């Protein structure tokens, strides 16, 4: 077995870089973890013969983080003295306070500092292979000093077996890209200036002069900036206005509607990250059942004649693949009501901005949304389900090929491209796509895109034609009448669109907006002027209605926060006995669909990570300031070294940069003060920093080499 180990202090050196690392041999003695608390006491004693010699008493006080071996850990210690010795008493007290061993060595007084104590920890095992080695510690006796007492924690170290070293080229090398982060998070008040600057980004004109947009400009990879920004804005409920602002700015700079969001911009990376966080549940309920089936059944779906196996039939494979594509396409296009509200809000904004920018292109409102929901969400999840938590492992090559073919087809269906054959380099894919070259597929995509990009706003002007969500006959019971009576129950045709919920005998008597939906034996639809009690034909039909109505009511700005779980009969509510039919509800409404985002985000930690990025790219912040000055003073061609920055308003951008740099420098001072205080107060060898903590040793060396501190 071979492996590669890294010291903690080495990880930062390789952060974000590809590097080849030589492999090293692995044995049981090199795999150690945990730490041990030792106490050493050196004193003089007079022997029975009257000779004065030294006594070394060793105690193993405590261990932590030892590994569990075969579901148990029964450790013991073996203590030994290393070095030439004469005339020396050695006491080792290991487990029980009254249990110790006594050994005598001969040692000259001047030789004590040349000795070392070795403590080996073992796990007592009943297996025939013997006890397992847990780690060792070597302590030079010179640490005892004048006091003769040493009390410290140590990291356990691997055992040196004296094996001959193996040349690196004999074992090979491993290419790794390491991403390492270490956060030291202050109390929330330390981050107020920087956090406020970031959260104001959506309201800065132009948005390219905002703190968040500037972060995307200076980071080497847009993804670096997108991850903490999205989490921070989601945490404070400001993700939609921020993404709307940067998306609108990017669309305004786009000249060709066919290239909207095609690059790896800050907008596209932020929306990608938002969909990953908000849409995981949505993916699971939509795709996971059929993805699991594909991975389990292993049906042959290869349609490339060159790759076809002798035992396979091309037509049968095409039919298998067609059925899979059809089923996935149908579950996607019928999943609009399950789309998380935050994603719907973002898609609504993208649609409106794109339609406003390219008024002559009727399809741009669809392609602006499909470029994310199909190209960057569903298609990648089908292609690599393990990366989206749909499968525990990467699919086998056979299944992976099937998923690749499905993903390509779904991506093309969602793109609404004019020329389908032009989307495929392979002739067999173009031929297969003929199965789906029907208007019903394009209509289904458009209806789906209309729903997920318009239902998030209760705005009847946002779309020309209402989208039908569900309709059918149900029994309506009027509110406030006697419990019995045929006039109380009427069969009505109910119709729900993304605009309104109506019922009628033959044609529309429109109801008001839905304020809440409550499931009783019947289900209750609460409206501003009254409540309706409705009974569906069966429980499955009732659940479908409730799911869709609940989704639609999430978007109602006047949605109720409380409701009455029982009926209003005989002049009072049965639940709380209040006599007014307009009395406020007595029970809180639920928070909404499980598809809506629920994140455990530490806003201070995300702000700290953003600070770290600003600090890392401080040189670029300064250069961007120079670019603002150059653009303000000089007219004409932009200098090449500044051409990578997007600067729409040099004065506003410079103003924000000055505030960002000031906030970052203040945090740097606070971090430096914290490190100084920590260095002064922390004892090397304490439980917090055991001996063997290489990163702390490096820190001590750095501090001891620096005679002054800059604030």
DSSP track, 348-398:
HHHHHHHHHH-TT-TTHHHHHHHHHHIIIIIHHHHH-GGGGTSSSSPPPHH
Q: Using pLDDT thresholds of 50, 70 and 90, give the confidence band for residue 258.
A: confident
Most confident of the ranges 481-490, 604-613, 697-706: 604-613
Residue-wise pLDDT for 627-674, tens only, equals: 888 877 655 455 556 677 888 889 999 999 999 999 999 999 999 998
Q: How many CB atoms lie within 10 A of CB 87?
A: 16
- 692 Rama sector, left if φ>0, alpha if ψ -120 to 50, beta otherwise: left
**Interval 154-160 mean pLDDT:** 84
Predicted confidence (pLDDT) at residue 499 exceeds the cutoff of 70? no
Summary mean pLDDT of the chain: 79
Residue-wise pLDDT for 578-630, tens only, equals: 888 778 888 876 544 343 445 678 889 999 999 999 999 999 999 999 888 88
Top-confidence residue, 452 or 517? 452
Most confident of the ranges 381-385, 495-499, 572-576, 701-705: 381-385
Q: Using pLDDT thresholds of 50, 70 and 90, give the confidence band for residue 260.
A: confident
Please give the pLDDT value at position 554. 60
Please give the pLDDT value at position 431. 87
- From the number of C-beta atoms within 10 Å of its C-beta (0-12, 13-18, 19+), residue 447 rates as middle
Please give the pLDDT value at position 696. 46
> Among 170-174, 360-364, 597-601, where is mean pLDDT lowest?
597-601
Helix axes 397-415, 439-454, angle to 10 degrees: 80
Q: Using pLDDT thresholds of 50, 70 and 90, give the confidence band for residue 246.
A: very high
State the DSSP H helix or E strand holding residue 346, giving kind and residue range, or none if neither: helix 341-357
The Cα 45–Cα 263 span in angstroms is: 79
First to last CA, the chain: 49
Q: Using pLDDT thresholds of 50, 70 and 90, give the confidence band for residue 700.
A: very low
Please give the pLDDT value at position 43. 81
**Interval 308-319 mean pLDDT:** 90
Top-confidence residue, 334 or 636? 334
Q: Using pLDDT thresholds of 50, 70 and 90, give the confidence band for residue 539.
A: confident
> Among 217-231, 291-305, 403-417, 522-536, where is mean pLDDT lowest?
522-536
Predicted confidence (pLDDT) at residue 340 exceeds the cutoff of 80? yes
Predicted confidence (pLDDT) at residue 537 exceeds the cutoff of 50? yes
Predicted confidence (pLDDT) at residue 194 exceeds the cutoff of 50? yes
> Among 93-97, 369-373, 386-390, where is mean pLDDT lowest?
93-97
The Cα 150–Cα 154 span in angstroms is: 12
Q: Using pLDDT thresholds of 50, 70 and 90, give the confidence band for residue 166.
A: low
Top-confidence residue, 249 or 641? 249
Please give the pLDDT value at position 109. 53
Q: Using pLDDT thresholds of 50, 70 and 90, give the confidence band for residue 456.
A: very low
**Interval 196-221 mean pLDDT:** 94
Top-confidence residue, 554 or 693? 554
Q: Which tokens belong to 568?
A: 């209003």
Question: Can you give the pTM of this predicted structure?
Answer: 0.70
Predicted confidence (pLDDT) at residue 129 exceeds the cutoff of 80? no
Q: Using pLDDT thresholds of 50, 70 and 90, give the confidence band for residue 161.
A: low
Residues above pLDDT 90, as percent of the chain: 31
Top-confidence residue, 597 or 388? 388
Phi and psi of 121, rounded to 5°?
-105, 135
Please give the pLDDT value at position 68. 80
Predicted confidence (pLDDT) at residue 34 exceeds the cutoff of 70? yes
Predicted confidence (pLDDT) at residue 285 exceeds the cutoff of 80? yes
**Interval 458-482 mean pLDDT:** 59
Structural Rg of the chain based on CA atoms: 35
**Interval 180-203 mean pLDDT:** 90
Q: Which tokens belong to 446?
A: 């458009």
Predicted confidence (pLDDT) at residue 165 exceeds the cutoff of 80? no
**Interval 697-710 mean pLDDT:** 43
> Among 131-140, 410-419, 508-517, where is mean pLDDT lowest?
508-517
**Interval 407-432 mean pLDDT:** 78
Please give the pLDDT value at position 578. 86
Q: Which domains does the chain have, with CATH numbers?
A: 35-155 (2.60.40.150), 265-453 (1.10.506.10), 468-559 (2.30.29.30)
Predicted confidence (pLDDT) at residue 211 exceeds the cutoff of 90? yes
Please give the pLDDT value at position 475. 72
Q: What is the DSSP string of 498-565?
A: SS-EEEESSS-EE-----EEEESSSEEEE-SS-EEEEE-SSHHHHHHHHHHHHHHHTT-TT--SEE-S
The three-state secondary structure class of 456 is coil
Please give the pLDDT value at position 642. 63
Predicted confidence (pLDDT) at residue 375 exceeds the cutoff of 70? yes
Residues above pLDDT 70, as percent of the chain: 74
Predicted confidence (pLDDT) at residue 164 exceeds the cutoff of 70? no
Residue-wise pLDDT for 4-15, tens only, equals: 555 566 677 777
**Interval 450-472 mean pLDDT:** 61
> Among 93-102, 230-239, 272-281, 401-410, where is mean pLDDT lowest?
93-102
Looking at the DSSP assignment, which residues form a beta bridge with residue 37?
62, 153
Q: What is the DSSP string of 129-177?
A: T-PEEEEEEEEEGGGGTTTTEEEEEEE-B-----PPPPPHHHH-EEEEE
- From the number of C-beta atoms within 10 Å of its C-beta (0-12, 13-18, 19+), residue 100 rates as middle
Q: Which tokens belong to 126?
A: 């009943």
Q: How many CB atoms lie within 10 A of CB 224?
A: 21
Residue-wise pLDDT for 97-126, tens only, equals: 444 444 544 455 556 667 888 898 888 876
Of 174, 252, 236, nearest in space to 201 by CA? 236
Of 126, 65, 118, 70, nearest in space to 92 by CA? 118
């Amino acid at each position: 077995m071979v492996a590669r180990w890294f010291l903690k202090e080495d990880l930062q050196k390789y952060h974000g870089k590809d590097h080849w690392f030589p492999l090293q041999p692995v044995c049981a003695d090199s795999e150690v973890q945990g730490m041990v608390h030792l106490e050493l006491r050196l004193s003089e004693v007079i022997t029975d013969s009257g000779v004065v010699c030294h006594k070394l008493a060793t105690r193993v006080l405590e261990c932590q983080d030892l590994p569990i071996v075969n579901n148990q850990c029964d450790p013991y210690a073996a203590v030994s003295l290393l070095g030439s010795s004469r005339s020396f008493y050695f006491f080792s007290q290991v487990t029980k306070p009254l249990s110790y061993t006594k050994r005598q060595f001969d040692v000259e007084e001047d030789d004590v500092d040349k000795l070392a104590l070795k403590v080996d920890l073992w796990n007592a095992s009943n297996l025939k292979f013997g006890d397992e080695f847990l780690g060792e510690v070597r302590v030079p006796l010179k640490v005892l000093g004048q006091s003769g007492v040493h009390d410290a924690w140590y990291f356990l170290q691997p055992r040196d077996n004296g094996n001959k070293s193996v040349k690196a080229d004999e074992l090979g090398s491993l290419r790794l890209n390491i991403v390492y982060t270490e956060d030291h998070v202050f109390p929330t008040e330390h981050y107020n200036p920087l956090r406020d600057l970031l959260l104001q980004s959506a309201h800065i004109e132009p948005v390219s002069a905002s703190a968040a947009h500037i972060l995307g400009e200076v980071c080497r990879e847009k993804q670096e900036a997108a991850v903490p920004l999205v989490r921070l804005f989601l945490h404070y409920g400001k993700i939609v206005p921020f993404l709307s602002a940067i998306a609108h700015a990017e669309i305004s700079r786009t000249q060709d509607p066919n290239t909207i969001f095609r690059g790896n911009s800050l907008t596209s990376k932020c929306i990608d990250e938002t969909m990953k966080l908000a849409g995981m549940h949505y993916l699971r309920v939509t795709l996971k059942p059929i993805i699991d089936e594909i991975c389990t059944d292993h049906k042959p779906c290869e349609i490339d004649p060159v790759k076809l196996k002798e035992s396979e039939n091309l037509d049968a494979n095409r039919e298998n693949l067609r059925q899979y594509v059809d089923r996935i396409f149908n579950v996607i296009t019928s999943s609009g009501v399950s789309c998380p509200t935050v994603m719907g809000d973002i898609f609504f904004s993208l649609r409106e901005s794109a339609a406003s920018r390219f008024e002559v292109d009727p399809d741009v409102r669809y392609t602006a949304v499909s470029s994310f929901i199909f190209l960057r969400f569903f298609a990648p999840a089908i292609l690599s389900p393990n990366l989206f938590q749909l499968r525990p492992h990467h699919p086998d090559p056979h299944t992976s090929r099937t998923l690749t073919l499905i993903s390509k087809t779904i991506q093309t269906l969602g793109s609404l491209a004019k020329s389908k054959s032009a989307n495929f380099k392979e002739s067999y894919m173009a031929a297969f796509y003929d199965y789906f070259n029907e208007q019903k597929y394009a209509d289904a995509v458009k209806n789906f895109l209309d729903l997920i990009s318009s239902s998030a706003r209760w705005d009847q002007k946002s779309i020309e034609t209402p989208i039908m969500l569900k309709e059918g006959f149900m029994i309506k019971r009027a509110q406030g009448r006697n419990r019995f009576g045929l006039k109380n129950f009427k069969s009505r045709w109910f119709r729900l669109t993304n605009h309104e919920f109506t019922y009628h005998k033959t044609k529309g008597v429109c109801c008001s907006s839905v304020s809440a939906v409550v499931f009783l034996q019947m289900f209750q639809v609460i409206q501003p002027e009254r409540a309706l009690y409705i009974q569906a034909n069966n429980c499955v039909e009732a659940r479908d209605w409730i799911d869709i109505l609940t989704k639609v009511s999430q978007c109602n700005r006047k949605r109720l926060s409380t409701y009455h779980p029982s009926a209003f009969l005989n002049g009072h509510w049965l639940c709380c006995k209040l006599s007014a039919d307009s009395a406020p509800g007595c029970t809180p409404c639920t928070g909404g669909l499980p598809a809506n985002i629920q994140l455990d985000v530490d806003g201070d930690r995300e702000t700290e990570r953003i600070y770290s990025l600003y600090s890392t790219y401080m040189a670029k912040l300064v250069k961007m300031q120079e670019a603002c000055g150059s653009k303000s003073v000089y007219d004409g061609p932009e200098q090449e070294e500044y051409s990578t920055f997007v600067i729409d308003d040099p004065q506003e951008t410079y103003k924000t940069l000055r505030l960002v740099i000031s906030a970052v420098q203040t945090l740097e001072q606070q971090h430096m003060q914290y490190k100084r205080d920590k260095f002064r107060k922390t004892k090397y060898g304490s439980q917090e920093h055991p001996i063997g903590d290489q990163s702390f040793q490096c820190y001590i060396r750095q501090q001891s080499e620096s005679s002054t501190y800059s604030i």
